[in-house]
Structure 1
């Protein structure tokens, strides 16, 4: 059986769908199992219970365990889990001790390696396309997207591409002991993202550039952890005016990565709701 943590999250949900479609037994963890809304045949359990009986492989996301992953990983080792596929971060390659995203994910990878289980560490680069959902309420209300550093360029990754690489790591032996690093297929500024959402939605979306301090306050109010806020601001500042390096997902999926326009189309209801 494959255990998927964070099963109702951006990556977890499409991953559960892929594993279920492949005919595998899946136990999906959710903070609220009654509202999970996952495919028929998927066993749903509470994250707080972390039931590991019969589990041979785990997809692990840190966001599922706000108190840290040390204890869950120790329980996986004790239960004899044979394979752990973790959603890590390309920030592990940044040795700046102020980059707490990198520090925390290096610690995650180290703990998993020490279990002796087979491992794969997914290291998406270029940012998650899904961060644009932070704009959804404002775009629905008044057609405005707000962010600092309008010309900071990233290569946003569609969560379905991350889920597809995770599925390959769980269903085959192809990526055991590997740390796939991959980005989205195009280098885009934050202003580009807003424009593309407007084009797909069929309504103008105006980009409004925030000062770093304004962004800091907005993200903190939205519940983004302080260490993540500061890491994002430093990263955005470094990316201004520089094309983001593209790390193709093709070697892992045998196809190009999904575009940001495709992501926007897949999530268009989030941006159109108020106009319907």
Structure 2
């Protein structure tokens, strides 16, 4: 079986590759990247191409049985300019099955895949545990403190490896055509509980300083964050939808093993916070 992973060097894509290698060592893996020098495992074939430029994809889809799609283009998460051409190329190549990593709502790529001959499964992960590195690693190392609003916010955040594992099993085994799989971790934590877990993992106290919304906006603007992103974060963090704070059993249902906890993730990444 030959599987194409788009976004293969990204946070989720790397984990899809890793989990496919674990579940199916004999599968032939091909990674799509715009970078001709992308760092990949030695047994993963590199296909240079871009979902935003369908004319670059014919060779990438050739001989492929299944595809892990992302539904955006480039580092700024822009919309795909011609998703119909992407889907047409996949169908012409004989792709039978795919997963699509996306948000809560379906976009043009998802709808086109649903209408195609390709067995399609939507992956809807909630907050990534790995966001803790992006947001908190530097302030923890610099001052031993996290300054954030909404300290009581609840999150059922998920380990990126579990997203990769769900994608890998669906690509390999099928059986989820037309489904939207919400993927969560095994527990719901507040911001303060996450800080406590990280403190225990790194072996030193981390202070949590709860900001007002106004203070958070000032902080984010000072960090150069665009107003659109500030508005998005305010809504996402201050009014987290039920889906983002409700545990579901997708990981165990699909993979046969329980979802990994935030404590497990933190233990694996202690050096990022020291």
TM-score by length of 1: 0.81
Over residues 93-146 of structure 1, what are the superposed CA-to-partner deviations in whole Å (9 max), with x where a residue is unaligned? xxxxxxxxxxxx444421321333210001123x11111112111112221223
Question: Structure 2 residue aligned with 1:54, among 63, 66, 79?
Answer: 63
Q: What's 1:39 paired with?
A: 41
Separation in structure 2 between the aligned mates of residue 28 and residue 260 of structure 1, nearest angstrom: 28
CA shift, 1:156, in A, is 0.7
Separation in structure 1 between the aligned mates of residue 226 and residue 158 of structure 2, nearest angstrom: 21
- Cα distance change on mapping 1:106 and 1:68 into 2, 3 Å: closer
Separation in structure 2 between the aligned mates of residue 40 and residue 256 of structure 1, nearest angstrom: 29
Q: Contact conserved, 2:71 with 2:107, CA < 8 A, in 1?
A: no
Question: Structure 2 residue aligned with 1:88, among 102, 127, 141?
Answer: 102
Over residues 192-247 of structure 1, what are the superposed CA-to-partner deviations in whole Å (9 max), with x where a residue is unaligned? 1122111101111111223334444655776877555433321322249xx93211
- Cα distance change on mapping 1:263 and 1:206 into 2, 3 Å: same
- Cα distance change on mapping 1:225 and 1:30 into 2, 3 Å: farther
Q: Contact conserved, 2:165 with 2:255, CA < 8 A, in 1?
A: yes
**Structure 1 segment 244-255 matched on structure 2, within 5 A:** 244-248=245-249, 249-255=251-257
**Structure 1 segment 150-161 matched on structure 2, within 5 A:** 150-161=151-162
Aligned length: 255
- Cα distance change on mapping 1:43 and 1:216 into 2, 3 Å: farther
Separation in structure 2 between the aligned mates of residue 223 and residue 29 of structure 1, nearest angstrom: 31
Separation in structure 2 between the aligned mates of residue 194 and residue 119 of structure 1, nearest angstrom: 37
Separation in structure 1 between the aligned mates of residue 167 and residue 46 of structure 2, nearest angstrom: 19
Separation in structure 2 between the aligned mates of residue 260 and residue 186 of structure 1, nearest angstrom: 8
Separation in structure 2 between the aligned mates of residue 88 and residue 230 of structure 1, nearest angstrom: 20
Separation in structure 2 between the aligned mates of residue 250 and residue 75 of structure 1, nearest angstrom: 32
Q: What's 1:167 paired with?
A: 168
Over residues 134-188 of structure 1, what are the superposed CA-to-partner deviations in whole Å (9 max), with x where a residue is unaligned? 2111112221223221110111100111111000110012222221123111111
Q: Does 1:180 align with 2:203?
A: no
Q: Contact conserved, 1:77 with 1:117, CA < 8 A, in 2?
A: no
Q: What's 2:145 paired with?
A: 144
Separation in structure 1 between the aligned mates of residue 223 and residue 176 of structure 2, nearest angstrom: 36
- The unaligned stretches of length 5 or more in structure 1 are 93-104
**Structure 1 segment 68-147 matched on structure 2, within 5 A:** 68-72=79-83, 74-80=85-91, 81-89=95-103, 91-92=104-105, 105-125=106-126, 127-133=127-133, 134-147=135-148
TM-score by length of 2: 0.82
- The unaligned stretches of length 5 or more in structure 2 are 51-55
- Cα distance change on mapping 1:174 and 1:260 into 2, 3 Å: same
What secondary structure does 2:120 align onto?
strand
Separation in structure 2 between the aligned mates of residue 199 and residue 141 of structure 1, nearest angstrom: 18
